[in-house]
Structure 1
Amino acid sequence: MLALRGVRVQYGSRAVLHGVDVTVSAGELLAVLGANGSGKSTLLRAAAGLTPAAGGTVTVDGRRRGPLDIALVFQQIHLVRRRSALENVCAGALGRLPLHRSLVFPRVVREEAMACLDRVGLADRAHDRAGSLSGGQQQRVAVARALCQRAPVLLADEPVSALDPAAAEQVLALLAELAHDEQLAVLAVLHQPDLARRHADRIVGLRDGRVVLDGDPSQPVESLYVSALEPAP
């Protein structure tokens, strides 16, 4: 569903990604691991079109990535804290609404947003202000907002790094469940190998802007996980 082929990214004269190839299938949760500076977040931003690539291609379902093909969930959750959870989820539909309707969400969108909140287990908090929710609940609202976008690809940039262990487990389990049940292609940048092993269908390790690991997390490859997380010498 999502394919990065030969993607290169440079910041000035410094190369950050060196011709990276990464694919994510529909129905798959791919975890990307690596040390700080390995290129994990740059890979995600290049996939989303937020960082321009110096070379290579990004395709969704075999065609060039379009503006509505990819939904994003960030480490910084970016909810409007004074608005309700439901209104925040409705915002996921803004890209497909006429401009003159963008400030008043029609009933059909509100119903869809409620269904998305129910999908992440927060229908009972729909009318609570986002700022009153716990960190894990806020991140689940952000996932529901991404679902309301109807994108076939979901990219999550360190979505659990600010959460306590129990909330982190819940969010990763939710992302895996959505990938499998909704046939989404989910790519999550993580710092936690244990979480990746428990929830991901596949793990890619980056080191110095290159793929050094691409495999099944159930295999006994601890030494490769360690090498993926160590910075380059």
Structure 2
Amino acid sequence: MLAIRGLRKSFGGRTVLDDFDLSAEPGEFVALLGPNGSGKSTALRCVVGLETPDGGEIEVGGNAAMVFQKIHLVGRRNALDNVCSGALGRLPLHRSFFFPQDVREEAMSCLERVGLADRALERCARLSGGQQQRVAVARALCQRANVILADEPVSALDPQAAVQVMELLKALAEQGMAVVAVLHQPELARTYAHRVVEMKAMVAA
């Protein structure tokens, strides 16, 4: 589902990734651990095109969607509208937030998958941090992603909310998706991920 081979990336002469390999199969939840500067987030950003790699190959079997630490929801809009925005890439530009019925039905199905169908019409600003992150996951599902990339998805959450998000990501993997998450909590990684990859920061020459 996801294959990264020989990925290289530098910023201003500083090498962050050098010959980095990573794979994630359908049904697999892979956690990336490592110190700041080890290239964990950069690798994920290269997959979705937010960074341009200097070399290497990236293959994605389908669509990849990113879930961020900073959740980037529109707080004044309700959860359903925020999830519908995951479909913007396949809608005419003039649609804006006026989503057709089929998209709204698909978005509601995505909210059901993350356990928030009962909060569909609630403004996101009124949701808890954990609920907002689950809305962000539902938005990624509405992008029809086969691969979910999560960059520190629980760093800003309380322990209970963090567990709920981790359980959700594991459940999505077990439903056949490939999930890769950057984490700073080794205990969560080893509890919920099927495989843990530990990265090290590059040593300056």
Q: CA RMSD in A?
A: 1.4
In 2, Cα distance between equivalents of 1:71 and 1:39 = 19
Q: 2:191 aligns with which of 194, 198, 213?
A: 198
Match of 2:139 in 1: 145
Q: Can you list the C-alpha shifts for 1:143-202, whole angstroms capped at 9, x where unaligned?
A: 000001101111000000000011001101100101111x11111000000000110011
Q: Can you list the C-alpha shifts for 1:47-101, whole angstroms capped at 9, x where unaligned?
A: 222111110011012xxxxxx7211100000000000000000001111112233
Match of 2:68 in 1: 74
Match of 1:96 in 2: 90
In 1, Cα distance between equivalents of 2:101 and 2:178 = 28
Q: Is the 8 A contact 2:29 2:170 kept in 1?
A: yes
In 2, Cα distance between equivalents of 1:133 and 1:100 = 28
TM-score normalized by structure 2? Answer: 0.96
Q: CA deviation at 1:102?
A: 3.6
In 2, Cα distance between equivalents of 1:102 and 1:129 = 18
Match of 1:115 in 2: 109
Q: Is the 8 A contact 2:2 2:60 kept in 1?
A: yes
Matched, 1:83 2:54: no
Match of 1:15 in 2: 15
Q: CA deviation at 1:127?
A: 0.3
Q: How many residues align?
A: 204
Matched, 1:188 2:181: yes
Q: Is the 8 A contact 2:36 2:201 kept in 1?
A: no
Amino acid at match of 2:103: V
List runs of 5+ in structure 2 lacking aligned partners: none
Amino acid at match of 1:49: G
List runs of 5+ in structure 1 lacking aligned partners: 62-67, 210-230
Please say which of residues 132-141 and 98-107 is displaced more in the overlay.
98-107
Match of 1:64 in 2: none
